[in-house]
Each structure stands twice: as structure tokens, then as C-alpha cells.
Amino acid sequence: MVDLLNLNTYVPALFVVLAPVIGGLLMGIDRKLTARMQSRIGPPILQPFYDAIKLWGKQPFLASGLQPILAFGYFGFSVAAYALLAFGQDILLMIFTIAVADVCLIVASFNSKSPYSNIGAKRELLVMMSYEPVMILAALNISIMTGTFMIQGIFDITVPLLPYLPLTFLAMIPVLVVNMKKSPFDVSASGHAHQELVRGIYTEFSGYTLALIEFGHWTKVALMLSFVTLFWAPNLIVGVALALTLFFVTLVIDNVYPRLDWKSMVKTTWTAGFLLIIANIIGLIVRLVAL
């Protein structure tokens, strides 16, 4: 599986190391673009890195002894999930690993007695509940096309996925919106603005624990967008363009929509996700059988 003498092994490994960095840059571009959409100048693109370094140097205030370990768990398991993606492993295992990361974050947030982070954590659970089934269904759809749940399988078939899985591609939009914590579905925490729960699930994190959470968030965003690039695996440059397109669409949605409640989030994500992907699955099978 992992052959240390083959140069090809090091390319995915490089991506794994660079994933948080790429994620951070994307967050910077996010803030810049959002500002421009709002007729502002916006912060420099490297801003997230300045934020993270500054946070690392703050005097450490903790909510509990467990908190930093779990915060690192969030980051660590996000990186592990990215590694699974980069090395072409099982999509389902990748999704479950993302779940471990999320659970680390949620338990870390429950760990303090703050009512804000408590409610934020409960909302984050609903966030998990809304996007996980959609991603697994998307994985199922991909597996029908490639014959396997292994990401390597997407590279082994010579055709790109997008023409066969257009609806599933669209279903990734609500998943992205939810994962990037963008309106309308930023119920548990929203970017850097404070909201009705102060900072929601991030309220009791500060200093280096918040920096770790930031790194984890960047990695997750990079992971989701890397997953989208798989929709045009034969030419990854097109894949990256697709990912950046969906990224931009997410930003537009964020700037257009107000924040909605968790019920809308679950309803929309599940309805759109399930309907689109099931339609795609049936369409794909009919198409494959007819060929």
C-alpha cells in the first residue's frame, strides 16, 4: 500500500503536509472575495496565517485539561482524513474519520461549562447529522460508477465523474456550505463574526487551542474541496477549477443568504442531498445498463 521507495508516494504525502496551508490560503481568499463582494477592501490573503500565529503566542487560558488534547485531535484526525484521501483509500473510512475529528471538537466544546459552547456543540452535532448521510450517498454514487469505494478507483476509470454524476456534484454545494460554516447554515459558529451564541462552539477556545481548531478547519475545507476535485480526476487542473467554482458559489450564497435555523439546515441538506443523489443513482444505473 505505501511503498517508501517509489517517488509517487511522496506526492500525496506532500499534499497532506500542505493541506492546512492550502486551506489557510483558501480562507484568506474567502475573506478577500467576501470583502470585495461587500464593496470593501478586505484583509490580505495571508491574514489567516497571521491570525493563527498570533493565537499561538497568546497566554494560554483553558476551559479544562482535556480541551487542548481534543483540539489537537480535531486537527490530527482532519489531517488523517486528508491522508486517506491523498493516498486513495476508502471514501467511507475517510468520512468516518472526519466524524471522529468532529466528535473531538464537539466533546472539547462540551467540556467547558459555558452555555454558549454547550449549545454551539449541540448545534454542531446537528450540522454533522445533516452532511454525513449526503456525503455517504455521494460515495455510494461514485462507487456505482467506479465499482469500488476506494478513491484510487476514481483515478483508475479513464472518464471524469462530472458528466455522469452532475446532480451529485450539485449536492456537494449544501455540503460545502455547511462544512465551511457559511450562511445560511452557519448555526454552530460563523467565520470570525460573533453571533447570538457569542462564538458558538468556538467560544471557550483561546490562544493555541483556537489555533489548533483553525488548523483543523483549514484542513477540513481543503479536504472537502479536494474531494470535489475528484469529479474530474483525469485532469486535476479541471478538477481544481471545479472545486474553486463551487468555492465561489458557496461565497456568493453566503453573502446573499441570512442565517437560518438548524431545522432549515437539516431539511434543506437532506432534501436536496437525498433527492439529487438518489435521482443521479437511478439515472446512472439506467444509463449504465442501457449502454
Restricted to residues 165-204, the positions that interact with another protein (CB under 8 A) are: 192-194, 198-199, 202-204
Using the contact rule CB under 8 A, the part of the chain among 125-133, 163-171, 180-188, 222-230 near another protein is 125-133
Q: How far is the CB of 74 from another protein (least distance, A)?
A: 10
Query: Segment 38-97, which members bind another protein (CB under 8 A)?
Result: 38-44, 47, 49-66, 68-73, 76-77, 80, 84, 89-93, 96-97
- Torsion sign over Cα 177, 88, 102, 33: negative
* Residue 234 touching another protein (CB under 8 A): no
* Residue 217 touching another protein (CB under 8 A): no
| Alpha-carbon distance values, 57 to 21, 70, 74, 209, 238 (Å) | 19, 19, 20, 11, 39
Query: Segment 136-155, which members bind another protein (CB under 8 A)?
Result: 136-137, 140, 143-144, 147-150
Residue of 129, 157, 238, 260 interacting with another protein (CB under 8 A)? 129
Can you read off the three cell numbers belonging to residue 74?
480535531
Using the contact rule CB under 8 A, the part of the chain among 6-14, 171-179, 224-232, 275-283 near another protein is 275-283
Q: Exposed, middle or buried, 214 (CB in 10 Å: 0-12/13-18/19+)?
A: buried
* Residue 283 touching another protein (CB under 8 A): no
* Residue 208 touching another protein (CB under 8 A): yes
* Residue 22 touching another protein (CB under 8 A): no
Nearest to 33, CA basis, from 217, 224, 227, 244: 244
| HEC-encoded secondary structure of 218-251 | HHHHHHHHHHHHHHHCCCHHHHHHHHHHHHHHHH
- Count of residues in the chain: 291
